[in-house]
Structure 1
Amino acid sequence: MSGCPLSVEGMASVLPASNKSMKSDRNTNVGKKFVHVQNPYLDLMDEDILYHFALGTKTHNLPVMFGDVKFVCVGGSSNRMKAFALRMHKELGCEGDGEEMKDICAGTDRFCMYKTGPVLSISHGMGVPSISVMLHELIKLLYHAQCCDVTIFRIGTSGGIGIEPGSVVITDTAVDSFFKPRFEQVIMDSIVTRSTELDRDLAEELFTCSKDFPHFPTLIGHTMCTDDFYEGQGRLDGALCSYSREKKLDYLKRAYKAGVRNIEMECTVFAAICGRCGIKAGVVCVTLLNRLEGDQITTPHDVLVEYQQRPQLLIATFIKQQLGLCRTPPPAPASPERTLQC
């Protein structure tokens, strides 16, 4: 972590402050929005082991290691999130080429984690169960580290509906397969429903930032989250298919009419958990194909690689603007060609 002008020096694994003193520190920092958890039992625990991160409150000094984190970017692919960390290493003016950057979660093979100054880059795997595990431990990590004023982004890929491949969708609302803004969680033998609204002001700020990148289309729209890549998304190319081509197209057209512009497999639980813990969050995904025209991704690999860099480029630029490291473009009127009218 050394060599970056915005980083906190040291990764010492000395014993951290007690939970009681941490709560006192939060109370004395008026005006800062600290990360909170919605679990009264955490403060009663002698130790909290973040198993899937290979970190713990007794084995690692989390406030020293992560206390300066202001931005967290998560995505499905480990390689993609390392690439984002390397991008931020360069964008923030850190010394060296970043190749010596260590995976903080090297003690586990579940997720990867890289820190560059105030930016944390973490992989979350594929689907709701995987990202849910990661988010629980991430938010506890930010809580134990006494982080404040944190913004979390999910950046990734998706299937588009009625928009050209390579389009970047900034999510205003995450919806389920019924086009409803909700996440239904089975907790023991009960179904709990949580809201999936995302920060609208943040979405608008990201859209304003996107005007610096006219070479790819960017829009604000609903993102639908499904539990499956194949039948759950109405594909015709899975091992199973229990519906007709006509029914698939009818469903996708109804989704488009409801304001859905892309489909992925994590956004509802991401929005629900971040919202429940009061953390500002945004979702930015590039589309790899238009699902109204087909199900399989036939775009050449080199083009897909460029597509996948688009959300990273937008978020990296936004972070630099927030840190005062680059010019902030003046607000511009919304373009009817690039905004979604729901």
Structure 2
Amino acid sequence: MLRMELDERDLDSGQKHQKHFERLPSVVESDTEIEKDFERLRIMNLNCHLAVLENDYLYHIALEKSERLKKAFSDVKYICMGGSPKRMYQFAHYIKEVIGLQLPIGVALQNISEESDRYAMYKIGPVISVNHGIGCPSISILLNELIKLIHYAGCKDVTFFRIGTCGGVGVEPGTIIVTSEAVDGMFRPEYRQIVLGKEQVRKTKCDEDLVNDILEIGKVHEDKDGIKKVISGKTLCANDFYEGQGRLDGAFCEYTSSEKMDFLQKCKENGVKNIEMESLCFTGLLNHAKIRGVVICVALVDRLNGDQVVSHDLNIEFQERPFKLVAKYIKKQLEKN
């Protein structure tokens, strides 16, 4: 239903102009002129060149800047991201039940971005559920287009969540880790990216108030409603699944099992509670935009004790724990407002 609405073309091309601006110059006189308009925007450091784009096709999520997009997405308050399309489809149905959203008879949740075949995205009232794939490059593409989406839609006070799985470091499998800040393999709390031959460095601390709110909900519901232990700590973000995480079963491995254990122990000594592959980009880009966000992952294993998940069924049960924690936060905020 939403897909059909967004696919209709606006007859009046003037409607495609961004409503944040009183004018869009046909000829750009200087970057400074554009930046003056952007001083009024809610998203910090937003690309000033977007001001003069009459059309902007968000290729990887198959949406286009338009008045219809604004009407369809202006109510979005929460964007929940996870690696797997199947998992985020399941979360979409779960959050629908939690917040009590009733769909019209005969209408089902539909993948809004199915035409792109890159990401799967669902809108559930004020909540977006979308998969981000694996690794920082994949989540970077999605974050860029989601940030533009909420900008074009005029969304206010949007909160981002990354919910997923990870390898724990000195924590019991099934523990939910709320990231305080992400670090790279050198334990630097920085997202580093090469732009035009120069290194850009962005900070990777999660929103402290949001982290504390999530921890408080975890404390209240611990050992109830399928939520187990919830802790906070640093998250190490690796560039790959194998060597970057010190595994011994990749195609390449030029270190010993002893060296692996020494590194994992060093992680623990540096306050690292878990290892995954997206938190640096997630926190780095959201901090740059001054958008609230937090990473919430469940540990499938304790890497100090091994690399293998105990069982498939237990894995499925663990994956649902961040769902439940985030859903309780969203429901509480919606009831408060």
- Note whether the superposition's TM-score is higher than 0.5: yes
**Which SS does the other structure have where 1:284 is aligned?**
strand
Change (3 A) 1:270 1:233: same
> 2:298 & 2:239 partners in 1: Cα distance?
19
**Which has the higher mean CA deviation after the structures are superposed, 127-136 or 89-98?**
89-98
- Output the aligned Cα RMSD: 2.2
Q: What's 1:132 paired with?
A: 140
Q: Contact 2:122/2:128 (CA < 8 Å) preserved in 1?
A: yes
Q: What's 2:214 paired with?
A: 206
Cα displacement (A) at 1:115: 0.5
Cα displacement (A) at 1:175: 0.6
Q: What's 2:269 paired with?
A: 257
**Which SS does the other structure have where 1:324 is aligned?**
helix
Q: What's 1:74 paired with?
A: 81
> 2:335 & 2:41 partners in 1: Cα distance?
20
Change (3 A) 1:243 1:322: same
Cα displacement (A) at 1:187: 1.3
The Cα offsets for residues 178-216 of structure 1, whole Å up to 9 and x where unpaired, read as 111001101131211111111011100000011233221
> 2:112 & 2:45 partners in 1: Cα distance?
23
> 1:286 & 1:230 partners in 2: Cα distance?
19
Q: For 1:99-178, list aligned pairs within 5 A.
A: 100-178=108-186
Number of residue-to-residue matches in the alignment: 311
Q: What's 1:310 paired with?
A: 321
> 1:99 & 1:317 partners in 2: Cα distance?
25
> 2:336 & 2:300 partners in 1: Cα distance?
31
| 1:85 paired to 2:96 | no
Once the two structures are aligned, what percentage of the paired residues are identical?
41
The Cα offsets for residues 278-317 of structure 1, whole Å up to 9 and x where unpaired, read as 10001000000000111222x1111111100000100000
Which blocks of at least 5 consecutive residues in structure 1 are unaligned?
3-9, 26-31, 327-342
Q: For 1:16-55, list aligned pairs within 5 A.
A: 17-23=15-21, 34-36=42-44, 38-55=46-63
Q: Contact 2:16/2:55 (CA < 8 Å) preserved in 1?
A: no
Cα displacement (A) at 1:37: 5.3
> 2:112 & 2:21 partners in 1: Cα distance?
26
> 2:107 & 2:320 partners in 1: Cα distance?
19
Q: Work out which of the residue numbers 288, 291, 294 in structure 2 matches 1:276.
A: 288
Q: TM-score, normalised by structure 1?
A: 0.86
Which blocks of at least 5 consecutive residues in structure 2 are unaligned?
24-39
The Cα offsets for residues 310-340 of structure 1, whole Å up to 9 and x where unpaired, read as 00100000000001179xxxxxxxxxxxxxx
The Cα offsets for residues 133-189 of structure 1, whole Å up to 9 and x where unpaired, read as 000001001100110110000000000000000000000101111111001101131
Q: What's 1:61 paired with?
A: 68
Q: Contact 2:185/2:237 (CA < 8 Å) preserved in 1?
A: yes
| 1:236 paired to 2:248 | yes
**Which SS does the other structure have where 1:43 is aligned?**
helix
> 2:281 & 2:245 partners in 1: Cα distance?
17
**Which SS does the other structure have where 2:220 is aligned?**
coil
Change (3 A) 1:117 1:126: same
Change (3 A) 1:290 1:100: same
> 2:232 & 2:199 partners in 1: Cα distance?
30
Q: Contact 2:16/2:65 (CA < 8 Å) preserved in 1?
A: no
**Which SS does the other structure have where 2:294 is aligned?**
strand
> 1:311 & 1:99 partners in 2: Cα distance?
27
Q: Contact 2:204/2:287 (CA < 8 Å) preserved in 1?
A: yes
| Amino acid aligned to 1:263 | I
Q: TM-score, normalised by structure 2?
A: 0.87
Cα displacement (A) at 1:220: 0.6
| Amino acid aligned to 2:128 | L
> 1:263 & 1:275 partners in 2: Cα distance?
20
The Cα offsets for residues 27-65 of structure 1, whole Å up to 9 and x where unpaired, read as xxxxx983455211001112111000111114x721111
